[in-house]
Amino acid sequence: MSEDEGKKSILDSLGKWIIIATILGAVVGLVMGPPAHMFAPVGDLFMSLIKMVVVPMVFFSLVGGAASLGNSKGAGKIGLITFIYYGVTTAVAVVLGLFFSEMFKPGAGINMAAISEAAIDIDMSQSGQIPGFWETVIGFVPTNPFAALVQGNILQTIVFALFVGFALAMLDEDKKKFMMNIFNYFTEIFIKIMTAIMCVAPIGVFALMADATGTFGYDVLVKIINLIVLYVVVLAIVTYVMIGGSVALFSKKVGYVQFFKSMWKCQVFAFSTASSMATLPLNMKTNEEEFGLDKGTVSFALPLGATINMNGNAAYYAMAATFIAQMFGMELSFGQYIAIIVTSTLGAVGQAGVPGPTLLV
């Protein structure tokens, strides 16, 4: 067996190994408790490797995708449909989160005194705040695009990449072809690096799960089990009804069953790493190779969606806000519900596609 065949075999069984690693990590964390924090450096190293590749990969991929679409007569239509679809699905996720939270009230009757101090002793100076509408819009545009690249600001990197890509599409044919080859080569390089990193994903996922479970413990997880169950229900509706329904209604190439059969590896990996950006290479590969989608469209839509189409984050913000209100016996007004919908949507749009930032907001 050649080296490439061996790597392909590992990647083909990646989903199974990640599931096993996730379960083992959770069990080890529960058994060991706080000492399971010893696995944290391994998990941190794994996520650092991913973050090392994500920003340049997104930049080069999106430039190439925008350039390909920018030269196409259907570029405007594809872009408009993409943004509308992302906006609608995010808003629906927020409304669903509010609906289920108010119907079942998961935060009602919770014994606040039983919650571990470690879980609420948070340095507020590190907590993010969801910005207003205009602050969010202004924050899209980098005053220094190179600083955005260095600092790993994905949203600003995407905006800069779109400008570069569409400008590239306006060049003379020879110059455009030359530059697009360069960007496509760099995209392939970083995808190769990410593919190699994915070979050790089960080890990293095991370490992340063991550390998280050992740190927070079973008792704390039980306190919010109602919220978790409702959140999973909302995500299931968004995924299998809204997104799956969209595939069934509008896709001519891919059926409902085929879509989820091909996407299960991406779903498992996204669940395990809690990172849409880490899942991006596998997602792009699946869409191109198994669904036969155009590379330009995939390179444009998926990196963009991995940053601004945070349906899970948006639903979480809304549900967490109502959950906390219920814990303290607060009755929310209609205006406050509208504020939650708007801020949850904007917060999700501006969120990084890496693990953890949702908890800081």
User: Does residue 75 carry a pLDDT above 50?
Assistant: yes
Average pLDDT on 148-153 reads: 84
Q: What's the pLDDT at 124?
A: 38
How large is the angle between the packed helices 311-327 and 225-236, nearest 10 degrees? 150
116 pLDDT tier (thresholds 50, 70, 90): very low
CA distance 323 to 235: 17
328 pLDDT tier (thresholds 50, 70, 90): confident
Residue with tokens 């413990």: 217
Give the structural domain span for 325: 3-360
Task: Please enumerate in sequence order all residues whose Cβ is within 8 A of that of 196, keeping only pairs 6 or more positions apart, or say none.
Answer: 7
CA distance 75 to 67: 10
pLDDT tens per residue, range 216-270: 766 555 656 788 889 999 999 999 999 999 988 888 888 899 899 889 888 888 8
Start-to-end C-alpha separation, the chain: 48
Write out the two tokens for 342: 């708007």
Looking at the chain, how many residues does it have? 361
Write out the two tokens for 24: 């083992």
Question: How many domains does the chain fold into?
Answer: 1
Residue with tokens 């069934």: 248
CATH number at residue 290: 1.10.3860.10
CB 36 within 8 A of CB 211: yes
CA distance 272 to 264: 12
Give the amino acid at 41.
P
Kindly state the percentage of the chain with pLDDT values over 90.
Answer: 13
Helix (H, G, I), strand (E, B) or coil at 5: helix
DSSP, residue by residue, 112-168:
GGGS-HHHH---GGG------HHHHHHHHS-SSHHHHHHHT-HHHHHHHHHHHHHHH
71 pLDDT tier (thresholds 50, 70, 90): low
Q: What's the pLDDT at 233?
A: 93
pLDDT tens per residue, range 14-56: 767 887 888 898 889 889 988 999 999 999 999 888 888 878 8
The mean pLDDT value of the chain amounts to: 78
Average pLDDT on 116-131 reads: 44
